[in-house]
Amino acid sequence: QVRPNKQRKKHKANCKRHSLYVDFSDVGWNDWIVAPPGYHAFYCQGECPFPLADHLNSTNHAIVQTLVNSVNSNIPRACCVPTDLSPVSLLYLDEYERVILKNYQDMVVEGCGCR
């Protein structure tokens, strides 16, 4: 039932991946990082509402936690977190001006989910 006197709750977006570009020139790191000039890191944000839908990529535990939260708000909802990450290759000059190409793991969010 709609209660006209109460302000309607603002709709919050569900957990999903959002764009986040890290530009190395913004932090002055472009003098030693040769390539790439920056990279798409992404981030996860959004609600994990009850009941958890399949596309929210949740675990059984997250479903239980969300269920408990729906009857006891002292227990927090599941969190929207990265569930899949991928590496990034950087070509850079080190302290001795030697050129290094290195693969750094878990730098890009590929998928988000409720955990």
Partner 1 sequence: GARGLVPQIGRSSLSQDVLHAFELRLLSMFGLKHRPSPSRSAVVPQYMMDLYSMHSVNAEQNNSNRPKGSLGKGSERSASRANTIRSFHHDESTEDLSSSSGKTTQRFLFNLTSIPGEEFVTSAELRIFREQVVSSPSNGSLAGFHRINVHEIIRPSGSLQEPITRLLDTRLVQHSLSKWESFDVSPAVTRWTADGRPNHGFVVEIVHPDQDSKRHVRVSRSLHDREDTWPQMRPLLVTYSHDGKGNVLHSREKR
Positions that interact with partner 1 (CB under 8 A): 22-23, 26-29, 31-32, 34-36, 39, 86-106, 108
- In this structure, are residues 42 and 108 in contact, taking their beta carbons and an 8 Å threshold? yes
SS3 call for 72: coil
Tokens representing residue 94 in the block: 């080190």
**Closest separation between CB of residue 37 and partner 1, Å?**
10
**Closest separation between CB of residue 106 and partner 1, Å?**
7
54 or 97: whose CB is closer to partner 1? 97
**Closest separation between CB of residue 32 and partner 1, Å?**
4
108 or 114: whose CB is closer to partner 1? 108
Tokens representing residue 106 in the block: 């878990």
SS3 call for 47: strand
Instruction: Answer whether the bond into residue 49 is a cis peptide, omega within 30°.
Output: no
34 or 68: whose CB is closer to partner 1? 34
